[in-house]
């Protein structure tokens, strides 16, 4: 059976806390053997690390300040982040971090400064870096072109830039991940973007509990606080099925390609389903 690896999700999200005991078995049943869990603010970093300790075979922890949450940072956030990077016996990745001009009330100059710090930390140790970018592509390119970049490259999670920009980003080392919302509307544009990406730079993600795929690609869903359902991390195989349609690619070879790209970029070997061990879910409160 093919296995799957999720390049970007948020299992530490408080909205998922209630569901955690059921999420892990569902992910296992879906064949998901690795996922990168991204912290977005200092408050949730310890939760990400706790989860990674609890599910060391499944979870690759990543820590960062999301541009929406930079105002919550403490003065010593960089020290705090460095402690996590140095204090664990396994690698801790960097992100989610980035730039977002649509984030209301978030100081864009501060976003740039904070993102540049994340980039420097990732470059210094050649760590995987997960980037969020919305309406800030010019500024992102400028920062990437004038600073050191991790040798292995970087991930533009749920890539929302133009097809033309792909050509600028590839030589810098970009990987691009596909997510559920590309299946909702303007599929021709999604096709134009993703067909332009070199196959060895493609990844797939759920971003769970966000970015729910449309109903026909939703094998699982979770009740959210509002009208919109929460995305379930075990929807990944369905997202990849949709990705194969968009790319006009056969599903099985695409799955293998994505697994290869995941292990190249994150430098981990995806385990076969058999070797996975599941312990009791952890109480994160
Ligand atoms: Zn995210």
Whole-number Å distance, alpha carbon 196 to ligand 1 midpoint, is: 23
pLDDT tens, residue by residue, 241-278 = 999 999 999 999 999 999 999 999 999 865 554 444 44
Q: Has residue 39 got a pLDDT over 50? A: yes
Residue with tokens 């980035």: 98
Quick one: angle between helices 251-266 and 236-247, nearest 10?
Answer: 110
pLDDT tens, residue by residue, 155-214 = 999 999 999 999 999 999 999 999 999 999 788 999 999 999 999 999 999 999 999 999
- Other CB atoms within a 10 A radius of the CB of residue 172 amount to 13
The answer to whether 34 and 8 have CB atoms below 8 angstroms apart is no
- Other CB atoms within a 10 A radius of the CB of residue 201 amount to 21
- Torsional class of 19: left (φ above 0), alpha (ψ -120 to 50), beta (otherwise): alpha
Phi, psi for 189 (deg, rounded to 5): -70, -40
Whole-number Å distance, alpha carbon 16 to ligand 1 midpoint, is: 14
Whole-number Å distance, alpha carbon 66 to ligand 1 midpoint, is: 8
Whole-number Å distance, alpha carbon 94 to ligand 1 midpoint, is: 12
Task: Calculate ∠ Cα 36-217-8, nearest 5°.
Answer: 10
The whole-angstrom separation of Cα 179 and Cα 203 is 9
The answer to whether 47 and 281 have CB atoms below 8 angstroms apart is no
Residue with tokens 């402690």: 83
Confidence tier at 87 by pLDDT (50, 70, 90): confident
Whole-number Å distance, alpha carbon 159 to ligand 1 midpoint, is: 11
The whole-angstrom separation of Cα 236 and Cα 241 is 9
Cis peptide before 96 (omega within 30 of 0): yes
The whole-angstrom separation of Cα 13 and Cα 141 is 29
Whole-number Å distance, alpha carbon 188 to ligand 1 midpoint, is: 24
pLDDT tens, residue by residue, 7-21 = 999 999 999 999 999
Q: Has residue 73 got a pLDDT over 60? A: yes
Whole-number Å distance, alpha carbon 270 to ligand 1 midpoint, is: 21
The whole-angstrom separation of Cα 144 and Cα 122 is 12
Nearest to 9 by CA among 49, 55, 60: 60
Whole-number Å distance, alpha carbon 151 to ligand 1 midpoint, is: 23
Whole-number Å distance, alpha carbon 276 to ligand 1 midpoint, is: 25
Burial class (CB in 10 A: 0-12, 13-18, 19+), 160: middle
Whole-number Å distance, alpha carbon 45 to ligand 1 midpoint, is: 14
The whole-angstrom separation of Cα 94 and Cα 97 is 8
Residue with tokens 């970093």: 45
Buried b (16+ CB within 10 A) or exposed e, 36-73: bbbbbbbebbebbbbbbebbeebbbbbbbbbbbbbeeb
Domains of the chain: 4-275 (3.20.20.140)
pLDDT at 163: 96
Which residues have their alpha-adjacent CB atom under 5 A from ion ligand 1? 96, 207
């Amino acid at each position: 059976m093919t296995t799957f690896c999720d390049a970007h999700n948020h299992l530490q999200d408080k909205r998922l806390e209630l569901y955690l005991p059921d999420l892990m078995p569902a992910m296992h049943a879906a064949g998901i053997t690795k996922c990168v869990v991204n912290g977005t603010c200092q408050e949730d970093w310890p939760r990400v690390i706790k989860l990674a300790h609890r599910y060391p075979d499944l979870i690759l922890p990543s820590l960062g300040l999301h541009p929406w949450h930079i105002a919550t940072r403490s003065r010593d956030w960089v020290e705090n982040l460095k402690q996590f990077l140095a204090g664990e016996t396994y690698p801790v990745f960097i992100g989610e971090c980035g730039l977002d001009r649509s984030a209301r009330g978030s100081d864009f100059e501060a976003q740039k400064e904070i993102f540049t710090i994340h980039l420097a930390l990732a470059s210094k140790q050649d760590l995987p870096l997960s980037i969020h970018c919305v309406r800030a592509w010019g500024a992102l390119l400028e920062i990437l072109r004038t600073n050191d970049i991790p040798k292995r490259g970087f991930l533009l999670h749920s890539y929302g830039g133009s097809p033309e920009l792909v050509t600028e980003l590839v030589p810098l080392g970009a990987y691009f991940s596909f997510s559920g919302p590309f299946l909702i509307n303007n599929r021709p544009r999604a096709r134009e973007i993703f067909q332009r990406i070199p196959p060895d730079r493609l990844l797939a993600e759920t971003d769970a509990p966000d970015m729910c795929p449309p109903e026909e690609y939703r094998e699982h869903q979770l009740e959210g606080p509002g009208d919109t359902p929460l995305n379930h991390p075990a929807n990944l195989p369905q997202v990849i099925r949709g990705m194969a349609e968009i790319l006009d690619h056969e599903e099985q070879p695409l799955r293998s390609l994505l697994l290869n790209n995941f292990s190249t970029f994150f430098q981990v070997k995806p385990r076969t389903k058999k070797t996975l061990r599941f312990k009791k879910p952890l109480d994160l409160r």
